Amino acid sequence: MNLALWLERAGKSHPHQPAAGYGTQVVLDYGQLAGRVARLAGALRGDLGLVPGDRVAIVAKNSVAYLEVLYAIWHAGLAAVPANAKLHGAELGYILEHSGARVCIASEGLDAEIAPHAPKSLERFIVIGGKDYARLCAADPIAVAPRAGDDLAWLFYTSGTTGRPKGAMLTHRVLSVASHAYAAEVDPIMLGDAILHAAPMSHGSGLYIMAHVAKLGVNVIPESGGFEPNEIFQLFGRWQRVSMFAAPTMIKRLVDSAAECDPKNIRTIIWGGAPMYLEDALRALDRFGPRLAQIYGQGESPMTIATLAKEDIADRAHPRWRERLASAGRPFACVDVIVANAQDEALPAGETGEILCRGDVVMPGYWNNPDATASSLRGGWLHTGDVGAFDPDGYLTLKDRSKDLIISGGSNIYPREVEEVLLKHDAVREVSVIGRPDREWGEIVVAYVVGAARPAELDALCLSEIARFKRPKDYVFIDALPKNNYGKILKTELRAMDAKRGQQHG
More confident of the two residues 490 and 146 = 146
Residue 273, Ramachandran bin (φ over 0: left; ψ between -120 and 50: alpha; else beta): left
Least confident window among 1-10, 353-362, 393-402: 393-402
pLDDT for the residue 486: 44
| 337 and 444, same domain (yes or no) | no
Please report, as a single letter, which amino acid is at residue 55.
R
pLDDT at 78 over 80: yes
List Cβ neighbours of 474 (8 Å cut-off, separation of 6 or more).
436, 444, 446, 447
Whether 366 is covered by a domain: the verdict is yes
Does 397 map to a domain? no
- In whole angstroms, give the CA distance from residue 21 to residue 9: 20
Q: What is the pLDDT of residue 403?
A: 65
Is the residue at 333 inside a domain? yes
Give the highest mean pLDDT range of 40-44, 388-392, 482-486. Answer: 40-44
The CATH number of residue 422's host domain is 3.30.300.30
Q: Do 233 and 353 lie in a common domain?
A: yes
Asked if residue 400 is part of any domain, the answer here is no
Q: Residue 207 above 60 pLDDT?
A: yes
Q: What is residue 277's predicted lDDT score, i.e. its pLDDT?
A: 72
Q: Which domain covers residue 489, as residue numbers?
A: 406-505
Task: Write the DSSP assignment of 7-69 as a string of letters.
Answer: HHHHHHH-TTSEEEEETTEEEEEHHHHHHHHHHHHHHHHTTS---TT-EEEEE--S-HHHHHH
**263: closest CA among 283, 293, 233, 239?**
233
- Across residues 67-80, what is the average pLDDT? 98
String of b and e for 438-447 (b: at least 16 CB within 10 Å)?
eeebbbbbbb
Same-domain check for residues 276 and 137: yes
pLDDT in tens, 482-492: 986 445 688 88
**One domain for residues 114 and 203:** yes
Q: Is residue 398 part of a domain?
A: no
360 and 437, same structural domain? no
By three-state DSSP, how is residue 475 classified? strand
- As a whole number of angstroms, the distance between CA 303 and CA 312 comes to 18
Query: Cβ of 140: how many Cβ atoms within 10 Å?
Result: 10
Identify whether residues 94 and 231 lie together within a single domain: yes
Asked if pLDDT for residue 284 goes beyond 50, the answer is: yes
State yes or no: pLDDT of 226 exceeds 70.
yes
Asked which of 356, 390, 424 is the last residue of a domain, the reply is 390
Average per-residue pLDDT in the chain?
93
| Same structural domain, 386 and 415 | no
Q: Which of 109-118, 247-256, 343-352 has the highest mean pLDDT?
A: 343-352
User: How much is the pLDDT for 346?
Assistant: 97
Distance in angstroms between the alpha carbons of the first and the last residue of the chain: 56
Whether 395 maps to a domain, the answer reads no
Q: Is 122 helix (H, G, I), strand (E, B) or coil?
A: coil
Q: What are 410-468's pLDDT values in tens digits?
A: 887 878 789 889 988 999 988 999 999 998 899 999 999 999 999 999 999 999 999 99
Task: Give the domain-ending residue among 365, 390, 415.
Answer: 390
| 384 and 482 belong to one structural domain | no
Question: What is the pLDDT at residue 161?
Answer: 39
Q: How confident is the model at residue 163 (pLDDT cuts 50, 70, 90)?
A: low
d(CA 321, CA 281): 12
Q: Is the dihedral of CA 366, 370, 371, 376 positive or negative?
A: positive
Q: How confident is the model at residue 405 (pLDDT cuts 50, 70, 90)?
A: confident
Number of domain units in the chain: 2
Q: Same structural domain for residues 352 and 421?
A: no
From 340, 358, 390, the end of a domain falls on: 390
Residue 145 sits in the same domain as residue 179: yes
Question: Looking at the domain assignment, is residue 207 inside a domain?
Answer: yes
Q: Which three-class secondary structure state does DSSP give residue 370?
A: helix
Contact criterion met (CB below 8 Å) for 225 and 19: no
Instruction: For residue 112, give every residue at least 6 positions away whose Cβ sits within 8 Å of its Cβ, in sequence order, or none.
Output: none
What is the domain-level CATH number for residue 14? 3.40.50.12780
Q: Are residues 247 and 117 in the same domain?
A: yes
Q: Report pTM.
A: 0.86
- Do 384 and 411 reside in the same domain of the chain? no
Give the per-residue pLDDT at 236: 95
Confidence of residue 160 (pLDDT cuts 50, 70, 90): very low
pLDDT for 505? 66
Calculate the CA dihedral of residues 99, 195, 282, 328 and round it to 10 degrees.
-40
Per-residue pLDDT band for 159 (boundaries 50, 70, 90) equals low
41 within domain boundaries: yes
* Range in 70-74, 126-130, 251-255, 447-451 the model is least confident about: 251-255
pLDDT at 506: 58
